[in-house]
Copies of this chain bind each other. A is one copy, B any other.
Amino acid sequence: MAIPPNVSPAAFNAALDAWRDAVGPEWVFTSEEDVALYRDAYSPFWGEPEERVASAAVAPATVEEVQAVVRAANEHRVPLYPISTGRNLAYGGSAPIYSGSVVLDLKRMNRVLEVNERNAYALVEPGVSYFDLYEHITKAGLDLWIDPPDPGWGSVIGNALDGGAGWTAYPFRDHFGAHCGMEVVLANGEIVRTGMGALPNSKSWQHSRWGYGPWVDGLFRQSNFGVVTKMGFWLMPRPEAMMSSMATSEREEDIIPMLDALNLLENQHVVNGSTQIFQGGRGPAGSAAWTIQVPIYGPEKVVRAQMDYAKAKFTAIPGVKFVEGELFRTPLTPEQLSRVRLVNFGIPNLSTFAMLGRNPGAPDPAGGHIGFSPIVPRTGESLLEFKRFYAENLPKVTNGENLGITGPVYMTCWERTLVCLIMFPIGRDKAMNAKMRHAFETWVRLAAERGWAEYRAPAVYQDLVADTYSFNNHALRRLRETLKDAIDPNGILSAGRYGVWPKHLRKT
């Protein structure tokens, strides 16, 4: 049996006993084969000493059990790493940041507590996946959509807390931004409800976001300040129609006015879908230097008016063509469903694995990827600079080898934000993984010199990326450390997550 670092066997056994009492012995996992299930199949350090692995796992089924588990961990100073469904692939999966932590597996807490159609929201537990929520809504016949990321087996809460985004419409696509109200178990075992949930008999917990006084919800995003046990989400009433068109240009420099047009349209909220920018042509757009995908959701006549307006803005740019897409009325017919990307219509699925040439059912996947995804200022000039930056530096980060790194093929747009992706294949070949790590680490440093940094990072690189956010001698990190020490003085929760370490593990 593995033992967490800095924990005596006696203390660990005492914690295990307390957990077995709290959750039942069948939900405390210590055998090598059980614990191996929590490994990150796509770890860039797979099978190497630096791979981050769990020592054990415990799976409570209720908030009270979470409280008991956390209290015992606090008493015996055992590091915990809460996960919801553990499907955070490419970002560490269900493996802890601090090797030897015990995974606090919340996937048994999988109740959809409420879906309110009139006020269009859901209240869920951490183990609820996008599939679960979709199934619940479909069975109940509610006229609501969810906003799935790809793939759909992940946790609705976990994805939001990790800063994930989906593929339908603004503002629902910003999963953390679309939440309303949380219940959190703190390191001391206390339950806190945020927003209107702090009112004992509140009926507006999922109606109103900010509540009264300092808003603490943000502290639980990409963090280690508590265990979120319930979270509300605003849902989109089913839009009556969706139409996605493409703006294209043959000329490299046209991305500057094209992105200005897109910014105007999105900032006016005339275009509300998951816009993307592709290098080159796409489908009917044929040969092009740039293609911008312009999806719009809403009532049919509104969508048509919005699309006409978007078309006018794009075609006012000399050389830009606008290829109007098909308008889909919802719900789609089976024939239509067979030829669209389902996530764009609120339907969770796993097709992204096929798209990436992978098989999620394989017990030991042959490989995956990690991504370097810096946020770049949302202008055409910055995008062109990023493209040049990528081309100029690719030979440098790979020592001239072709490692299969791809990017920036497409750029994804969130609210006001441009994310430029570079993808790194990760597999079982240690020498190749080492080259990928070198390339990744070099990109992080080179990008930071330009003022670009990631919004999210693989587990093993969360420190590296946190280091780039260094304004005023890492003032923001130091503030977070101060908060961490206050709220989790024994440092038992998710040590190291997003670069925040508890005092006893902190590098000076």
Chain A residues in the interface with B (C-beta under 8 A): 118-121, 163, 170-171, 176-177, 180, 186, 190-194, 196-204, 207-223, 225, 234, 236-237, 239, 260, 263-264, 267-270, 272, 298-299, 301-302, 304-306, 308-309, 375-379, 382, 414-418, 448-457, 465-466, 468-472, 475-480, 482-483, 485-487, 498-500
In the assembled complex, the CB of A253 is this many whole angstroms from the nearest CB of chain B, namely 16
Partner of A207, one of B378, B469, B472: B378
How far is A417 from B180 in the complex, measured between Cα atoms in Å?
11
Contacts of A299 in B (CB 8 A): 268, 270, 305-306, 309
Minimal Cβ-Cβ distance residue in B for A191 = B472
How far is A487 from B476 in the complex, measured between Cα atoms in Å?
12
Given that A218-B218, A267-B236 are known contacts, is A213 also in contact with B416, CB under 8 Å in the complex?
Answer: no
Contacts of A211 in B (CB 8 A): 455, 469
Given that A214-B498, A483-B483 are known contacts, is A199 also in contact with B468, CB under 8 Å in the complex?
Answer: yes
How often does this chain occur in the complex, in copies?
2
Minimal Cβ-Cβ distance residue in B for A201 = B451
In the assembled complex, the CB of A77 is this many whole angstroms from the nearest CB of chain B, namely 19
How far is A304 from B308 in the complex, measured between Cα atoms in Å?
13
Contacts of A482 in B (CB 8 A): 486-487
CB of B268 within 8 A of CB of A239, answer: yes
Partner of A469, one of B213, B237, B309, B472: B213
Most chain B C-beta atoms within 10 Å of own C-beta, residue among A121, A201, A375, A451: A375
In the assembled complex, the CB of A303 is this many whole angstroms from the nearest CB of chain B, namely 9
CB of B219 within 8 A of CB of A219, answer: yes
Contacts of A213 in B (CB 8 A): 221-223, 466, 469, 476-477, 480, 498-500
